[in-house]
Amino acid sequence: MLKMIILSTPSDYLPIAMMFVVAIGFVLFTMVVTHLLGPRRISKVKLEAFECGIESQGNSRLPFSIKYFLIAILFVLFDVEVIFMYPWAVNFAEWSKVSTAAFFEMFIFLGVLILGLVYIIRKGALKWE
């Protein structure tokens, strides 16, 4: 049997390009219009730092623990795995011959992530002191 190869052409990507242009155009249009039509009242009170109604005190440039950044980066790292797992789970039921290989590939992917999590836990990156 001959298999048909479907090649995509640049015109297939035209709707995506149009959507991208419309989205960027909307953002730019909104920013320009609000800048032109918005009020311009500059005062000492308006330029002051505002945090939930609490008066500012001290220097805002004080250093704080690197743990905040580490936890945020680890969250993003392990959250991105869902981005890879969702399409796999949606298409898994529709695959026929590839499903066994795809199933084991996902186990390898999850195994690497679990090894990374074990490494992070052993290094004490998630201990909050």
Task: Please give the pLDDT value at position 53.
Answer: 67
Q: Which of 78, 98, 79 is nearest to 88 (CA)?
A: 98
Q: For residue 71, give the nearest of 15, 8, 125 by alpha carbon.
A: 125
61-82: average pLDDT: 82
pTM above 0.75, yes or no: no
Reported as a single tens digit per residue, the pLDDT across 78-99 is 888 888 788 777 777 666 656 7
DSSP state of 43: -
